[in-house]
Amino acid sequence: MINKLYDTSLGLLTDLYQLTMAYGYWKSGMAEKEAVFNLYFRKHPFQGGYTVACGLGSVIDYIKEFRFDASDLAYLASLEGSDGNPLFEPAFLEYLGALRLACSIDAVAEGTVVFPNEPILRIQGSILQCQLLETPLLNLINFQTLIATKAARMRQVAQGDVLMEFGLRRAQGPDGGMTASRAAYIGGVDATSNVLAGKLYGIPVKGTHAHSWVMTFDSELEAFETYARYLPNNTTLLVDTYDTIQGVKNAIVVGEKLRERGHDLGGIRLDSGDLAYLSIEARHLLDAAGFHTTQIVASNDLDEHIMDSLKIQGAKISVWGIGTKLVTAFDQPALGGVYKLAAIRDPGGEWSYKIKLSEQAVKVSTPGIQQVRRYRDNAGFIADMIYDIHRHHPQEASMVDPYDFTKIRQFDSETEFEELLMPIFKEGDLVYRLPSIEASKARVLQQLSCFHQGVKRLVNPHTYPVGLEKELFDIKTNLVIRARSVSKS
Ligand SMILES: Nc1ncnc2c1ncn2[C@@H]1O[C@H](COP(=O)(O)OP(=O)(O)OP(=O)(O)O)[C@@H](O)[C@H]1O
Ligand SMILES: O=P(O)(O)OC[C@H]1O[C@H](OP(=O)(O)OP(=O)(O)O)[C@H](O)[C@@H]1O
Ligand SMILES: O=C(O)c1cccnc1
């Protein structure tokens, strides 16, 4: 999608430092050193208790398209260092021009519920190639995961109501709008007003009309009548341009005419004022006139908290139109996903595990070639365990709380589980069939239904247990101790 938007290949959609490091690896003969990186986040967005992974579809498109074309190389050749000489030598640019990605990528499926420190993507390949992918992978996963999570939160509040995404006009540019529409649909909205997203992603498109339609006519009634005459099968009338209650009455007049012609009044839309009071009044008026199935649509700066409050107030809203707060993730506009080196293969073929130290314990990275095991019982998911695929003995496991090593949980060989990371690319070849966008959307609901209600609540959610398998925990602890002593010596 984005390459079409900008009419270019996408090798340069990265930070300059990835290219300067790549050059350094190439010059020093380290380019082919094998490495493993993990992409994960440290804290749920929106002070929530869960996160919905999204963006793998775009990652697959990106990796398939990845290359540096002649114009990219010409641009890189024009870059200069501080001494005015070219930053990159021609032989390196030739190397980039011939580069074909040969990384192996394992990832969790789109729509999977994930938790802090769990790898969403694990990338294994030459250090040079893994490094080049850091920025684009974070770009593709962070935003879509954020928006899918926001939409999932709204879906949890809306329960069975219809959710429409109206955000394109407020989105962060064209690509922000397109990706938000895709991620919001996977996360839980039913339709979008974004017609290009409808065409390209197969998302249902829906909409009402704007205030300008009403203002164009001499009266609101004439505006409603004209709209209903020409769009009798798409008639949701915006009733708040002048006086909302009078607007509902005018909509009922038009609804009666629609009925005489064999159609029905689809809905009315409220876009200002007290949405609880007005929706209850509108429902009375509509029901009294026999319009029991006419929907009440609400919009106006809605988010999951206002929706929740409106539900508690008994608002009679059955369709929610949500724009700005959804597509911009208004209260937390970025997910802090990171991409960290976890292992490097020695010349002898052995893996050497790596950690990034930090003063804050939560920021110390976890080493190893990781997989996530999600345990369940009859009631649903009970805990996730991050383990090292080369070390762990799969039958029985001890899981350590990484922030309190005295908390240890045992899982016997009878406990059911699923593994979250699946092979996506093997040495550059795609080995995964991306599920349909509908299947990814269904996965979110199916996954969320298996978590305790406390994990899903909006305020002070319960912390779902995520631990490290004991052997991995010990490896990490020893590496931290060693790294701290080296940094002091
Ligand atoms: N009953 C309610 N409880 C909680 N929040 C509400 C309720 N009714 C509306 N809201 C929210 O309150 C905010 C009201 O926005 P605002 O102050 O812009 O008023 P307005 O009615 O939209 O006025 P305007 O005519 O300028 O559009 C919106 O975010 C809306 O979703
Ligand atoms: O409020 P949002 O969640 O972003 O939903 C989209 C909004 O976009 C439209 O109006 P617009 O905001 O363009 O104009 P208005 O504020 O005058 O209604 C629509 O009427 C909604 O209010
Ligand atoms: O169809 C609508 O009602 C709509 C579309 C975009 C933004 N606001 C409303």
Distance in angstroms (rounded) separating the CA atoms of residues 284 and 400: 57
Q: Output the residue whose Cα is nearest ligand 3's atom 3.
A: 208
- DSSP class of residue 412? -
Q: Give the pairing type, strands 338-345 and 370-377.
A: unpaired
- For residue 427, is it within any domain? no
- For residue 274, is it within any domain? yes
ipTM here: 0.97
Give the per-residue SS3 of 221-262. Answer: HHHHHHHHHHCCCCCEEECCCCCHHHHHHHHHHHHHHHHHCC
- For residue 142, is it within any domain? no
Please give the angle made by the CA atoms of 64, 65 and 67, to the nearest 5 degrees. Answer: 115
- Give the CATH number for residue 254: 3.20.20.70
- For residue 347, is it within any domain? no
- Ligand 3 binding site (Cβ under 6 Å of any ligand atom): 166, 193, 207-208, 299, 321, 323
- For residue 7, is it within any domain? no
pLDDT in tens, 288-325: 999 999 999 999 999 999 999 999 999 999 999 999 99
Distance in angstroms (rounded) separating the CA atoms of residues 49 and 460: 8
Residue 266 alpha carbon to ligand 1 centre in Å? 24
What are the CB-based long-range contacts (under 8 Å, 24+) for 15-19?
15/134, 15/135, 18/131, 18/132, 18/134, 18/135, 19/76, 19/88, 19/132
Residue 322 alpha carbon to ligand 2 centre in Å? 9
Judged against a pLDDT cut of 60, whether residue 284 lies above it is answered with yes
- pLDDT of amino acid 4: 63
Residues in the chain: 489
Distance in angstroms (rounded) separating the CA atoms of residues 218 and 240: 16
Structure tokens at 277: 């009071």
- For residue 78, is it within any domain? no
Whether 322 lines ligand 2, by a CB cut-off of 6 Å, is yes
Query: Looking at the 3D structure of the chain, how many domains does it have?
Result: 1
String of b and e for 345-372 (b: at least 16 CB within 10 Å)? Answer: eeeeeebebbbeeeeeeeebbbbbbbbb
Task: Say what the pTM is.
Answer: 0.97
Taking the mean position of all CA atoms in its chain, how far away is CA 95?
A: 34
Judged against a pLDDT cut of 90, whether residue 355 lies above it is answered with no
- Beta-bridge mates of residue 466: 384
**Mean pLDDT on 403-415:** 93
- Beta-bridge mates of residue 162: 319
pLDDT in tens, 239-280: 999 999 999 999 999 999 999 999 999 999 999 999 999 999
Residue 306 alpha carbon to ligand 3 centre in Å? 18
Residue 281 alpha carbon to ligand 1 centre in Å? 16
Judged against a pLDDT cut of 60, whether residue 3 lies above it is answered with no
Structural domain span for residue 310? 208-317
Closest ligand 1 atom, CA of 315?
1
- For residue 371, is it within any domain? no
- For residue 382, is it within any domain? no
